[in-house]
Structure 1
């Protein structure tokens, strides 16, 4: 059995009893940086063989892990901090194991963006996790444009040397919006700083950041001046199936699909 294990993101006490139980009972541990994981294991007096698994060797590590699992070994997978796969190595391992039919599970725990979302007090009923902005500046701009009209809170990871550039790109893509920068999560100097994208984030940048940006304001679609049946017909003429047309109309009007369905029935009854 293979166990993906979430590890602390700052405070070493933020690890579950189940995670410690598995780490103590497993045969070996695959980790992002053996030196970093060794600190956690030593803290809890756990000694296990360690195998490196990072972005440059994850495919080879997957082959080794699958081989060990097929031999009946109990294998743990951890990253430097937080939950494997989430902006960290692990996705290649998971995909390879799924293809190979090797069973694995997750022992949940700390996750930086979830903690930051709570600490920011921004709306959390609807949000999008973008992760790190990677690639060329043009690629980052194109990615952010996909979220320009998203009404949910946006969550971005940013390294200290990239924060100012990332905030500038966010302002370029979204214009003036409220934002929050959360850092040192679970540590002594944990902080949440609110700012406007138009003003940027002041001060010296230290540590990893989670940036949160308020969602787009609700915009009124010009199609909303139509009756609901006319609105649905507009999308139907474009070749959409009725179910998809209802979904688009509901999104335009900011209501549920069931409400659109009820309105359609009411209009039909009135017309008959």
Structure 2
């Protein structure tokens, strides 16, 4: 007897046109769509005229739904797993279900598609050769600072999701733990009407956000440049700009400008100058 397949289907993070043709094909073909919030997903499905049956599968009932989903797959039914936006399982429900399906030998196929973390990283201007996705930081101050402290020595770019009501507290913690010169990028409302990117030192981004209430609204991706250790390679272009600016500006000012532009450590650049 043939069994069904669980499809992991990314959905748009803002602009509905970002859904893929393959995602639409799968969502129309499956027998059941397991959605994080059926009311939210119904808007997307109605927009594209998709009438597949909806099941609510979210963080509060996911483990209770696993047996029912496995039974449907065993009966040959195809099921699509979607979240409210972006790629399922990436700071969204789905891990227990996918893990259970793999353990049971069920077929699991993931589709490529929208993901806020990767979209923000590709446009942030921070190093992309190594990065660490960290999801949401703890909401309480002490736990938040402890989590950041554990990442203070990481050389890769750090990527977080953050709630708008906590972004000021988080940026304050970043300045406290990583120092005011660590390069930071705030990507807000990606693919939506008010998409913005703020970049600079941790201190300068904190000041920009604290003085502009609009930057404290919407969906936020926070990116933090990794630690730059003495002896790490400084891009040739950065060295050239540093040399030109140092001829006209004090070393600290020149280092700060280049650091903000290239996502480097101002202190490392300053030490290089002197």
Q: TM-score range by the shorter chain?
A: 0.7 to 0.9
Q: Could you state the TM-score of these two structures normalised by the residue count of structure 1?
A: 0.78
RMSD: 1.5
Query: Does residue 214 in structure 1 map to residue 219 in structure 2?
Result: no
Pick from 182, 189, 208 the counterpart of residue 187 of structure 2.
Answer: 182
CA deviation map 1:229-270 (0-9, x unaligned): xxxxxxxxxxxxxxxxxxxxxxxxxxxxxxxxxxxxxxxxxx
Going from structure 1 to structure 2, the CA distance change for 1:56 and 1:187 (only over 3 Å counts) comes to: same
Q: Deviations over 1:181-202 (max 9, x none)?
A: 1011111221101243224133
CA distance in 2, matches of 1:134, 1:100: 33
Greater shift after overlay, 105-114 or 139-148? 139-148
Gaps of 5+ in 2: 232-274
Counterpart among 49, 56, 59 of residue 52 in structure 1: 56
- 2:152 aligns with one of 148, 152, 161: 148
1:47 aligned counterpart, secondary structure: coil
Query: How many Å separate the matches in 1 of 2:147 and 2:159?
Result: 13
Stretch of structure 1 that moved more, 165-174 or 132-141: 132-141
Show structure 1 runs of 5+ residues with no match: 221-272
| SS of equivalent to 1:180 | strand
Distance, in Å, in 2 between the alignment partners of 1:181 and 1:96 is 36
Partner of 1:257: none
How far apart are residue 122 of structure 1 and its match?
A: 1.1
1:193 paired with 2:198, answer: yes
Find the aligned partners of 1:38 and 1:133 in 2 and give their Cα distance. 30
Q: How does 1:6-21 map to 2 (within 5 A)?
A: 6-21=10-25
* Structure 1 residue 156 displacement after superposition: 0.9
Tell me, yes or no, if structure 1 residue 124 matches structure 2 residue 128: yes
Scaled by the length of structure 2, the TM-score of the pair is 0.77
Instruction: State yes or no: 1:108 paired with 2:112.
Output: yes
Distance 2:116 2:187 in 1: 9
- 1:127, CA displacement in angstroms? 1.2
Give me the whole-angstrom Cα distance separating, in 2, the residues matched to 1:56 and 1:206: 26
The structural deviation recorded for 1:135 is 5.3
2:104 equivalent to 1:93: no
How many corresponding residue pairs?
221
Query: Is 2:86 the counterpart of 1:78?
Result: no
In structure 2, distance between residues paired with 1:163 and 1:155: 14
Whether 2:55 is the aligned partner of 1:42: answer: no
